[in-house]
Structure 1
Amino acid sequence: MGRLFFILFLLTTTGALAQQTPFEHSNKKETATYTEVIHHYQSLAKTYPQAKLITYGPTDFGQPLHLLVLSKDKVFDPVAIRKSNKRILLINNGIHPGEPEGIDASMMLARDLLKENKLPKNVVICIIPIYNIDGSFNRGSTSRANQNGPIAYGFRGNSKNYDLNRDFIKTDSKNSQSFQEIFNTWQPEIFVDTHTSNGADYQYTMTLIPTHKDKLQPLLSTYLTQTLVPSLYQEMEKKGYEMIPYVNSIGETPDQGITGFMESPRYSTGYAALHNTIGFMPETHMLKSFDKRVDATYKLLQTYIDVVVRDAKLIGENKKKADEAVALQQNFAIDWKLNKKESTPLMFKGYAAKQKPSEVSGLDRLYYDRNEPYTKEIKYWNTFEPALTVSKPIAYLIPQAWTKVVALLKLNQVKVQQLSRDAVIPVEMYYINDYKTATRPFEGHYLHTAVKVNPTLQNLPCYAGDYIVYVNQATNRYIVETLEPQAVDSFFNWNFFDAILGMKEHFSAYVFEDTAAELLKKDPALREKLEKEKAAKPEMAKDAEAQLDFIYKNSSYNEKTHTRYPIGRLLKEQHLTLK
């Protein structure tokens, strides 16, 4: 009855702002529903002219994505804000609605900043109230079996059962499209995506995943590691919440050490890095009480604001220089590997990991003894090295048939031009030599990995309306990491181009036998090539079909576009007539 009364109170409140959020009203045991969250922000926007709730595109659930903008001087145009040299901080909440601390912390933080007239002059704060609106409506209390509260919460998957923190490149959801519209319209310098952890037990309430230092543009990486992250740790310790890097254990427990997290572009912070935005994924500890988790998140968001205000000028200069550097950058790492030889010592506050008989199986089971806390030095492996690097072309040529590719490039502020007339253009084309494909679907896709390519120079027929993307832009990393098929989260690996992997024509053996015999008579080099192949593969000598197939694939009859990646790489400057 109390909850129902509170909702009715919210819905009938006009002008005067409700003093408490649902979290506070419930004695800090409940998280707000979508309806309560949006009404809260509508009330703020109605009460305070420094706040504006903007409606963006749809989600898979049918509700639009919202953005609350807090601007001290009441300017809500992102272009005008950037021209006035203000920084933009974007906070994203509820990408996993079962991890709702950021939802409630942001509601209170926005209210307090407005009510206490504490909005900064040089920073505009943008808040996505709930990103996975779909999952927030799928409310229950058991889907996160290891989590200590709140009483009820949303579900990780959206209404298509996608994990939206894997959807920033493939963009299967409308949520992702609308998020990318917001991100690229506002172009934040700092991005924070709030979460709750799973995993080991330890003493910390808050853990932190920054954009990985080794993949971030070096100027941004230096500021991140030497200034921003140390400031966050120092200030949070003063506020009563000592932090630790996200506990990604190398063994069963943290005692053996932890590793950094190399987030690929499918994740929110990996996506942000493609745009030279410093991203963070704070992860509160699932076993700490919900009120403490919300409080830690509130104080961390407060700390982000304070540090961005303090360093606003430097952050802006770094972003501008990073954009300029990336536009000129020639080589790009598109895959990474952990350096297992290089570690640093890390003081870690954990609990003793022990074994005892399981009441379920009778076998030994792991448990953490909270009566035996410890502080000890463990190893922290946080250095990643490029596993694969590519040199950018001058431009990529994209046939106009690949409409989703072009739409996503445009959505991400990539300058895309079109040919105004037909032309034959000398380019480098990739043939997909080898790849592995997952045997089970992941987020709706059978992902490709371990891609091997064979680059060949060809004269590519292009047509009026085909697209060209010059790789001289601040968005170069987005361009390269989506269009190079060997990149971890390339469009190819997400199955955008699977149609090229199947042959459309072949032969009937009884007919092609005579053609193949004639080819071998006329082409001694082909016969020699066949004999070498048979010598290398003795089983082939007993397989007539395999020999015919080899001849077919090494003749002019072979399908020239089979396994040919359709996007060309322009390696030399050439005058092209563009629209």
Structure 2
Amino acid sequence: MNKIFVFLLLLNTLHALAQQTPYEKSSKRETTTYGAAISYYESLAKSYPQAKLLTYGSTDFGKPLHLMVLSKDKIFDPAQIRKNNKRILLINNGIHPGEPEGIDASMMLARDLLKGNNLPKDVVICIIPLYNIDGSFNRSGTSRANQNGPVAYGFRGNSKNLDLNRDFIKTDSKNSAAFQLIFNTWKPEIFVDTHTSNGADYQYVMTLIPTQKDKLNSILSAYLTKTLVPDLYKGMEKRGYPMIPYVNAIGQTPETGITGFIESPRYSTGYTTLHNSIGFMPETHMLKPFDLRVDATYKLLLTYIDIVQRDAKIIGINKHKADEFVATQQEFALEWTLNRKKGDSIPFKGFEAGKKPSAISGVDRLYYDRSKPFTKTIKQWNNFEPSISIQKPIAYIIPKAWDKAITLLKLNNVKLKQLKADVKIKVESYYIGDFKTGTRPYEGHYLHSALKVSPVEQTLQYYAGDYVIYANQASNRYIIETLEPQAIDSYFNWNFFDSVLDMKEHYSAYVFEDTAAELLKNNPALQAKFEEKKSADTAFAKSGSAQLEFVYKNSDYYEKTNNRYPVSRLMSNIKLDLK
């Protein structure tokens, strides 16, 4: 009997050890590698029928993106899950592999929920084990110079040296396309993207960036600000990790006050907002011990599960209402500005900051004295207001030639229809006016900004197969914030349409001089416009080449497609012959 007992005890011990994560086996000093993480999830999926490991697409590294699904009912079809009125929580890890707490916390979380049969009844949990697979293989212990562990970790850039948390609209990486396939297949109501902070020193292990409340649909925002965020703070306080909003200090230290973070759609939570999903970016503090950062992330994920299970019904109702509202919404904000006149105060647990001579330069440098903790009231500004807004059109029309934009629209569940035959349509077109372009590349692009457009009503020729996108969809936010060129992360600003900014034809001045003279002689309106310009502009009046260019650009010889944005706006609800 004693031998059997010892044997069973040994088996249980071996099983428990086998289910330990690499992080736990390393005495909580090391983060899991990509290969070990996938092997671990494969093992869990084999051991528990409530778990399934799926793959989607590919990444720039040549490996698929994995998704671990935990479902108490053992149902792994997202359409059936939604039909059964279950909520979906999506957790993304390792978008920056040097910030790996979520990778290790999620592995332990999945095991503990499965092992104890503690999966929530009304919530299906989806986990991307490691998003930036490429960067995770570029492993060192030095790339995050300010971070306190783990021993080694991955690199921020992927194998194309892209920051994947800037790639959710432009989608230069295959990783982004695979993520969008996952997101738009599963359609999570709540999204969590795990990170580690940089910046000031303070007492908190965990800080939090929710989807910016003013950008979020008002129905979702009310639940976020009045219930979800306050209850996350209360839950983490009870679990031993009081939180603070992400410390985005306006000065050198947090005592000067902090501002909210306005995440544009290039970021994960800015992207998910376009689909009426409530997103979070938890940021553990880089200087806290790695084991505390992992533990805080683990407990925050548990807190999300508790609240989403508790509020599963209302979260589902809110999402449905938000989708209906956006489908009929008329006005959309394209750009936001922080209101610095409207703020509030919050308690903050920090460390006294001071100055002392630098051992390198001898110049005074900043330092934080951890022997002098404090609790102070600091100012917070987190109210953003629209600075540019537009009224939506009936539909957008985009020629079939612009295939990258069309591919991404389809990937994001946007409903597109095609013209059956060639047809002329009266539309509103934008002509591109002034704009700024970065002098250095940003994430592989010379990004445009501060764009001015001139809307012009005209009749344009379209062809069979060109696309019509009606602005009556739950995905309106995605449609409008990518296709309206003034939006901060529009396809235009990410250079999708730069070829329209080039002229393809011009003139030989010595020949066009005679043509221009005839044009002015035979067109009194053009002559009057020309004389008005000369009177108002001294430099123009002295420049023969500028005057010749003026006549050319105000004639039928000038190509009408130059600087014309190729996505037009259908402003009247005319009947179109569509496939």
TM-score w.r.t. the length of structure 1 is: 0.97
Q: Which amino acid aligns with 1:321?
A: K
* Cα distance in 1 between the residues matched to 2:85 and 2:15: 33
Instruction: Map 1:40-439; keep pairs closer than 5 Å.
Output: 40-439=40-439
* Cα distance in 2 between the residues matched to 1:413 and 1:483: 15
How far did 1:20 drift?
1.1
* Cα distance in 1 between the residues matched to 2:522 and 2:155: 66
Q: Which amino acid aligns with 2:232?
A: L
How far did 1:19 drift?
2.5
* Cα distance in 2 between the residues matched to 1:113 and 1:142: 34
Per the alignment, residue 445 of structure 1 pairs with 445
* Cα distance in 1 between the residues matched to 2:373 and 2:532: 67
How far did 1:352 drift?
1.1
Q: Which amino acid aligns with 1:463?
A: Y
Q: Is the 8 A contact 1:233 1:242 kept in 2?
A: yes
* Cα distance in 2 between the residues matched to 1:31 and 1:272: 27
How far did 1:16 drift?
8.5
Per-residue Cα deviation, 1:390-432 (whole angstroms, up to 9, x for no partner)? 1110100010000111110110000011011111111100000
How far did 1:371 drift?
1.1
Per the alignment, residue 523 of structure 1 pairs with 523
Per the alignment, residue 578 of structure 1 pairs with 578
Q: In structure 2, list runs of 5 or more residues that go unmatched.
A: 1-13
Q: Is the 8 A contact 1:16 1:47 kept in 2?
A: no
* Cα distance in 2 between the residues matched to 1:64 and 1:531: 64
Counterpart secondary structure, 2:299: helix
Q: Is the 8 A contact 1:15 1:46 kept in 2?
A: no
Per the alignment, residue 502 of structure 1 pairs with 502
Instruction: Map 1:20-31; keep pairs closer than 5 Å.
Output: 20-31=20-31
How far did 1:158 drift?
0.3
* Cα distance in 2 between the residues matched to 1:15 and 1:418: 57
* Cα distance in 2 between the residues matched to 1:18 and 1:158: 31
Counterpart secondary structure, 1:428: strand
Q: Which amino acid aligns with 1:526?
A: L
Q: Is the 8 A contact 1:15 1:43 kept in 2?
A: no
Q: Which amino acid aligns with 1:75?
A: I
Per-residue Cα deviation, 1:214-261 (whole angstroms, up to 9, x for no partner)? 000000000000000000000100111000000001111111100000
Counterpart secondary structure, 2:301: helix
Q: In structure 1, list runs of 5 or more residues that go unmatched.
A: 1-13
Per-residue Cα deviation, 1:154-175 (whole angstroms, up to 9, x for no partner)? 0000000000000000000000
Per-residue Cα deviation, 1:473-527 (whole angstroms, up to 9, x for no partner)? 0000000000000000000000000000010011111111111111111122222
Per-residue Cα deviation, 1:140-185 (whole angstroms, up to 9, x for no partner)? 0100001000000000000000000000000000000000000000
Counterpart secondary structure, 2:207: strand
Counterpart secondary structure, 2:540: helix
Q: Is the 8 A contact 1:148 1:288 kept in 2?
A: yes
- Give the superposed CA RMSD: 1.0
* Cα distance in 2 between the residues matched to 1:365 and 1:182: 46
Per the alignment, residue 11 of structure 1 pairs with none
Q: Is the 8 A contact 1:236 1:303 kept in 2?
A: yes
* Cα distance in 1 between the residues matched to 2:450 and 2:205: 38
How far did 1:15 drift?
9.2
Per the alignment, residue 534 of structure 2 pairs with 534
Counterpart secondary structure, 1:488: coil
How far did 1:17 drift?
7.7
Per the alignment, residue 7 of structure 1 pairs with none
Per the alignment, residue 10 of structure 2 pairs with none
Further displaced range: 524-533 or 505-514: 524-533
Q: Which amino acid aligns with 1:29?
A: R
Q: Is the 8 A contact 1:15 1:47 kept in 2?
A: no
* Cα distance in 1 between the residues matched to 2:467 and 2:119: 44
* Cα distance in 2 between the residues matched to 1:17 and 1:554: 79
Per-residue Cα deviation, 1:185-223 (whole angstroms, up to 9, x for no partner)? 000000000000000011100000000000000000000
Q: Which amino acid aligns with 2:62?
A: G
Further displaced range: 28-37 or 520-529: 520-529
Change (3 A) 1:17 1:482: farther
Q: Is the 8 A contact 1:22 1:32 kept in 2?
A: yes
Q: Is the 8 A contact 1:417 1:467 kept in 2?
A: yes
* Cα distance in 2 between the residues matched to 1:204 and 1:166: 27
Counterpart secondary structure, 2:452: strand
* Cα distance in 1 between the residues matched to 2:345 and 2:462: 56
Q: Which amino acid aligns with 1:219?
A: I
Q: Which amino acid aligns with 1:543?
A: S
* Cα distance in 2 between the residues matched to 1:434 and 1:217: 31
Q: Is the 8 A contact 1:214 1:383 kept in 2?
A: yes
Per the alignment, residue 8 of structure 1 pairs with none
